[in-house]
Structure 1
Amino acid sequence: MDSRVIAELVVHLGRIASGDGLVEGLTPGQWAVLRYFARANRFSRTPSAFAAFHGTTRGTASQAIKSLVAQGYLLQTRSDTDGRSVRLDLADKARAMLAKDPLEALARAADALPPGVRGQFSNGIQRMLGHLASETGKPPFGTCENCAHFEGDGCCQEGLAPYACGFLKEPLIEEELDELCINFATGKAVPPRPPGVGAV
């Protein structure tokens, strides 16, 4: 298939999934904010990280975030280490709202794909995102397990956490491994987890 056609299909898919107007009282932009903070790890729940992820200005990102803080969807906490920065977390109200996310229709469409096709599609999209991030100079967000900074194999050693971020020198818990991170660096294959770890 022609690469231009693929690009147009990706854009069209995203446009249909996000919709044009209000859904449950939120704009497509506000839904994007909630989705990001639902998936971002504790190091990436800041207005600047959201702006980088969505390729928008900090001013535009701040306005969208402020409206959701005012409506009680996001909780804002001052950083203990840097009084100028804030961390944003989802309120229970936002978690309940995400159950009605219009993106669920797209998730169901992805779920209808055969498992092998789904894996190939996911890998292809991730490679496209990485290439686009490199070409445009934007940070390549990703998750811990295929990050060059990821350390650990899930086995507990005396005095050490089973997983850690080598970039920030911070321990990680298993639940954080699938969350988005602004400090992501490409270049590491996904390591195998010990039997039973991460199984659902």
Structure 2
Amino acid sequence: MDKFDQLTGIAAPLPIVNVDTDMIIPKQFLKTIKRTGLGVNLFDEMRYDDNGNEVPDFVLNTPQYRDAEILVAGDNFGCGSSREHAPWAIKDFGIRCVIAPSFADIFFNNCFKNGILPIALPQEQVDLLMKDAEKGQNARMTVDLEAQTVTTSDGEVIRFDVDPFRKHCLLNGLDDIALTFEKAAAIDSFESKAAQERPWV
């Protein structure tokens, strides 16, 4: 998993509440078990018309937001079914941080497991960041996980909370498998001892 420490980038505004996982990545794209290749279909039904052409005024299709790395969204982001393809699609598009007033629990947890930082902030602070994001590609935000701050293009600093364990994992690029490998020596020692004490197993 990629490490996340500090990110300075374009923030795209998506002021829509209750964005569910089917809106993030529609069900017809769930056939793959690969974590790559889904970015082109992120928000597919909003990004493309029935003929597969880009919808010009959808935020991620506009020139100033095509390279967005931060998404500022509405309340209850990531609700709906518990598909892990949703954070896969977000990450594959290039977005590493999502800021919203609240998130669905499963989506929130899946973000951390896939190298994405979800930040929940009070509505008034999200509104401030939304207005900053609406300034376009020249208004770059900085997200500092170590300091737990979001800095607007005008230099205003907003602090956010994050679980210490999840912070440690993101800073060090540790997913569940990598966490297990950190205990490899202890696991080897246990297995060796168990084999001696219970050779019949």
TM-score, normalised via structure 2 length: 0.22
Between Structure 1 and Structure 2, the one with more strand by share is 2
TM-score, normalised via structure 1 length: 0.22
Point out which structure has higher relative CO (alpha carbons under 8 A, 6+ apart): 2
Between Structure 1 and Structure 2, the one with more helix by share is 1
Larger Rg: 2
